[in-house]
Structure 1
Amino acid sequence: MKTTNKLKSLIEILIVSTRLGLTSFGGPVAHLGYFHTEYVRRRKWMDEKSYADLVALCQFLPGPASSQVGIGIGVMRAGVLGGIVSFLGFTLPSVLALIIFAIILQGFDVGNAGWIHGLKIVAVAVVAHAILGMANNLTPDLKRKAIALFALVITLLWQTAFSQVGVILVAAIIGFILFKQTITADDSRMEFPISKRLAVICLTLFFGLIILLPILREATSLNWVALFDSFYRSGSLVFGGGHVVLPLLEREFVPTGWISEEAFLAGYGAAQAVPGPLFTFAAYIGAVIDGWKGGLLATFAIFLPAFLLILGTLPFWDSLRRNSKVKAALMGVNAAVVGILISAFYFPIWTSSILAPIDFAFAAILFSMLVYWKLPPWVIVLTGAIGGTLMGLFL
């Protein structure tokens, strides 16, 4: 019976995550909105507070935050296998699409297609909805609104890879100072079916590969080792989501001659056209270099750090979050996450999507369809793609 229930949970996770992988356009902030709608509001697999704490942890860790949140939800639902299944469902659709782009459509200019612009406007509606919901729950008082405003201003004016981490650290300190006397008892638990021994092994492997791979690269002349090292290191050093990894990948592969600047930019245009995490852009680069095998190797290497980090920190996260001092700090961190999301909503989502009054009008329509008419996300995505195509043809 237990095995049957586990298998049922894994199948359910695969179905839900694959649907998200096929419809989640708009980058990491939009993905968090899709996850919140599906996992928290619709299916109630976790409560608002647990979701907010998981997002805070994943924002703090390097790597693709939305993918790590998806892995964490899968782990909480069905253990390590649940995390793997959740990751595969969310990631494989865009991986396969980008490998196909690399092999067949590499020379096509898809970056300026009208339907892609429509999908960017979809992201505006989705992120706005997510921010409103999270702000109501995470910034209910003036102190936390002020922390969110601080995070918004700093991350908007100081757009570096490490600004988010600095803001989260400062917000944790402010939260500890402001809220340490106001914490009430909370016996709620987040269940992570992972042993601390496995967590330590994952963290050791994460840091060990960072040190070992460059040494192996210098000691051998194997192309796959060099590829693995470049992708693994890029995935290990990124804070702030998929867009931050692009300059790292460009620096690793364009100057070395493994991929041309034109092919790199064509792939970036293709990556914007597919749902799922932008880290799957690595699959395109790997496929250009070494076909579908290179695409799969690149995907495994760039996502491996995210997997090791989330599995390595989750078992310790529950005991930390229930500590009164840590909880006070988390109140500040969660408020800061709202500010960071608003900052990301403005740049790059708003600035790259709302270019004319008609774009704003279309975004308002999509937002109303999502929030007030409560239509499913795939309808919003399809409407956005069709609307963007029509605007491109007639305007």
Structure 2
Amino acid sequence: MTSEIEAERGTPLEVFWAFLKLGLTSFGGPIAHLGYFRDELVVRRRWIDEAGYADLVALCQFLPGPASSQVGFALGLRRAGPLGALAAWTGFTLPSALLLVLFAYGAAALEGPLAQGVLHGLKLVAVAVVAQAVLGMARSLTPDRERAAIAVLAVFLVVLGGGALGQLGAIVFGIVAGLVLLRRDEEPKTDQLFFPISPKAGLVAVVLFVVLLAGLPWLAGAGQGVALFDAFYRAGSLVFGGGHVVLPLLEAETVLRGWVSPDAFLAGYGATQAVPGPLFTFAAYLGAVSNGLPGAAIALVGIFLPGLLILVAALPFWNTLRRWPGAQAAMRGANAAVVGILGVALYDPVFTSAVLTPLDFALALAGFVALVSWKVTPWIVVVGLGLAGALIGLI
């Protein structure tokens, strides 16, 4: 039996506008994006409940590809079917992709104190947004001693393990701890999350993923476009954790091949920090530099496609799995571990890269209070701290 939230259906256009708003205002990287998603789609629009959202985040942390884009794709799929999924991906991805293609053609530059000040202000926005997400998820997902302990131990695992490996280890630990410690919890079962994807479609998606990953290298000699698609598809297939983890792979696929100069690569990376949306849209810049507008489109589709195929393959079977009592206990443990992972990300890289002075701390705190206590919409905080950063940059 589904809840009213789950029974509600939307339209692809509604999904597109919701994610276009997020694509225009979601600064700060994948962890911050999850905070924006939670505020807009869980708290404000109530498209999904807190526990279901956390389960979806935990699933996408397991899969290769851009976690925040995968979460958005799944939410669009659930809200308005396959066209809703495409609308969510397009709305969230298009703004930053277009800005970076313009930058590739020399239409933008991140130089001078004003631009650097705005960029710094946007980093402070990320501090406030991620802190709000950690607080909200901790309240609902770590309500007892066992889950609070799992979250804290997950922090240690991420810190000691480092990177995507530490995150995966923390989630695995959360699953095992949930199976051992949380079976006795007498909590109401969360409503099942239904996605309009059949097991057959999931199997087709995983077969297509493998065929493309294995077959594209054999076809790379057919032309520049195929070689470009192969390079970016492989980069998107091999990245766990998304975000900055993909940069070394992209450098190997573009700079070492001579498609993009080292200076152009670094300039594009700097521009990527100043635009909202997923970091994977850096591929659009690299594709445009190497092969113009067709290259931008090929690279963009190539880097996102493998993660979305894997997600489609996983959703039908995950939905069945999470109905089992043992799986529900495991997911409660995994959700607690996700809170710990978010806590680590709040410190590094979000806090450490943004808060450099006491004034930075004061501004980030003001943004946090505005979001949590005054219930200010995130885009107002984005504009306010962006202007504050610009003013500081000019002083």
Give the alignment partner of residue 172 of structure 1, picking from 172, 175, 180: 175
Aligned to 1:295: 296
Q: Write the deviation string for residues 271-323 of structure 1: whole angstroms up to 9, x where unpaired.
A: 00000000000111001001111111110000001211111111112211111
Q: Are residue 197 (structure 1) and residue 193 (structure 2) matched?
A: no
Contact 1:110 1:266 in 2 (8 A): no
Shift of 1:191: 1.4
Contact 1:106 1:266 in 2 (8 A): no
Contact 1:259 1:285 in 2 (8 A): yes
Shift of 1:325: 1.1
Aligned to 1:87: 89
Give the alignment partner of residue 63 of structure 2, picking from 56, 61, 64: 61
Q: Are residue 146 (structure 1) and residue 149 (structure 2) matched?
A: yes
Q: Which amino acid aligns with 2:36?
A: Y
Shift of 1:54: 0.7
CA RMSD of aligned residues (A): 1.8
Q: Which amino acid aligns with 1:26?
A: G
Q: Are residue 377 (structure 1) and residue 378 (structure 2) matched?
A: yes
Shift of 1:215: 2.1
Q: Write the deviation string for residues 234-280 of structure 1: whole angstroms up to 9, x where unpaired.
A: 11111122110011111211122111111111000100000000000
Q: Which amino acid aligns with 1:154?
A: L
Contact 1:110 1:270 in 2 (8 A): no
User: Percent same amino acid among aligned pairs?
Assistant: 53
Shift of 1:156: 2.1
Q: Which amino acid aligns with 1:70?
A: G
Contact 1:321 1:330 in 2 (8 A): yes
Contact 1:24 1:34 in 2 (8 A): yes
Q: How does 1:348-387 map to 2 (within 5 A)?
A: 348-387=349-388
Q: Which runs of 5+ in 2 are unaligned?
A: 1-7
Contact 1:264 1:285 in 2 (8 A): yes
Q: Write the deviation string for residues 143-185 of structure 1: whole angstroms up to 9, x where unpaired.
A: 1111111111221233233221122112211211112343656
Deviates more, 1:162-171 or 1:54-63: 162-171
Shift of 1:114: 0.7
TM-score, normalising length: structure 2: 0.94
Aligned to 1:73: 75
Q: Which amino acid aligns with 2:147?
A: R
Shift of 1:366: 1.2
CA separation of 1:291 and 1:169: change in aligned 2, threshold 3 A: same
Q: How does 1:118-129 map to 2 (within 5 A)?
A: 118-129=121-132
Q: Which amino acid aligns with 1:93?
A: P
Q: Write the deviation string for residues 349-382 of structure 1: whole angstroms up to 9, x where unpaired.
A: 1110000101001111111222222121111111
Q: Are residue 326 (structure 1) and residue 327 (structure 2) matched?
A: yes
Contact 2:150 2:333 in 1 (8 A): yes
Q: Which runs of 5+ in 1 are unaligned?
A: 1-5
In the alignment, the residues of structure 2 paired with residue 65 and residue 84 of structure 1 have an alpha-carbon distance, to the nearest angstrom, of 16
In the alignment, the residues of structure 2 paired with residue 133 and residue 7 of structure 1 have an alpha-carbon distance, to the nearest angstrom, of 26
TM-score, normalising length: structure 1: 0.94
Contact 2:66 2:280 in 1 (8 A): yes
Q: Which amino acid aligns with 2:24?
A: L
Give the alignment partner of residue 100 of structure 2, picking from 68, 87, 98: 98
In the alignment, the residues of structure 2 paired with residue 323 and residue 8 of structure 1 have an alpha-carbon distance, to the nearest angstrom, of 29
Q: Are residue 261 (structure 1) and residue 291 (structure 2) matched?
A: no
CA separation of 1:94 and 1:109: change in aligned 2, threshold 3 A: same
In the alignment, the residues of structure 2 paired with residue 126 and residue 360 of structure 1 have an alpha-carbon distance, to the nearest angstrom, of 14
Aligned to 1:3: none
Contact 2:109 2:271 in 1 (8 A): no
Aligned to 2:116: 113
Q: How does 1:156-235 map to 2 (within 5 A)?
A: 156-182=159-185, 186=189, 188-217=191-220, 220-235=221-236
In the alignment, the residues of structure 2 paired with residue 80 and residue 206 of structure 1 have an alpha-carbon distance, to the nearest angstrom, of 18
CA separation of 1:7 and 1:50: change in aligned 2, threshold 3 A: closer
In the alignment, the residues of structure 1 paired with residue 379 and residue 245 of structure 2 have an alpha-carbon distance, to the nearest angstrom, of 27
SS of the residue aligned with 1:161?
A: helix
Deviates more, 1:126-135 or 1:152-161: 152-161
Q: Which amino acid aligns with 1:321?
A: R
Shift of 1:327: 1.1
